């Protein structure tokens, strides 16, 4: 997966939450490498994505969605209009 596959809206949303530049948002980015992506921030990300794209994640899946690529994949599975 390349950077271009991340929709601009998701890239900007994540950049605002992680306080990073949009260009820094790559598919490989994950909880282990982003310093402030802790469990609280993760909940913030999940809620923001749910609200932004009108989807609901299964709470049991939420902890596993720990990288940008996994989030995007789950969003696509839910049929979100990206």
Our finding on whether 62 is near other proteins (CB under 8 A) is: yes
Among 1, 5, 12, 24, indicate the residue that binds other proteins (CB under 8 A). Answer: 12
Residue environment code for 8-30, b if the CB has 16+ CB neighbours within 10 A, otherwise e: eebbebbeebbeeeeeebbbebb
Q: How far is the CB of 12 from other proteins (least distance, A)?
A: 7
Q: How far is the CB of 66 from other proteins (least distance, A)?
A: 15
The crossing angle, in degrees rounded to 10, of helices 39-53 and 8-18 is: 150
Q: Are 49 and 13 in contact (CB under 8 A)?
A: yes
Total Cβ atoms within 10 A of residue 61: 12
Q: Provide the mask over 20-59, with x wherever binding to other proteins is found by CB under 8 A and - wherever it is not.
A: --------------------xx-xx--xxxxxx---x--x
Interface with other proteins (CB under 8 A) = 9, 12-13, 16-17, 19, 40-41, 43-44, 47-52, 56, 59, 62
């Amino acid at each position: 997966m390349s950077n271009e596959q991340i929709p601009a809206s998701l890239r900007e949303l994540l950049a605002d939450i992680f306080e990073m530049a949009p260009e820094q948002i790559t598919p490989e980015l994950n909880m282990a490498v982003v310093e402030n992506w802790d469990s609280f921030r993760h909940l913030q990300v999940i809620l923001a994505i749910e609200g932004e794209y009108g989807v609901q994640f299964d709470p049991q899946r939420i902890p596993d969605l720990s990288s940008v690529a996994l989030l995007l994949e789950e969003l696509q599975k839910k049929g979100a209009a990206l």
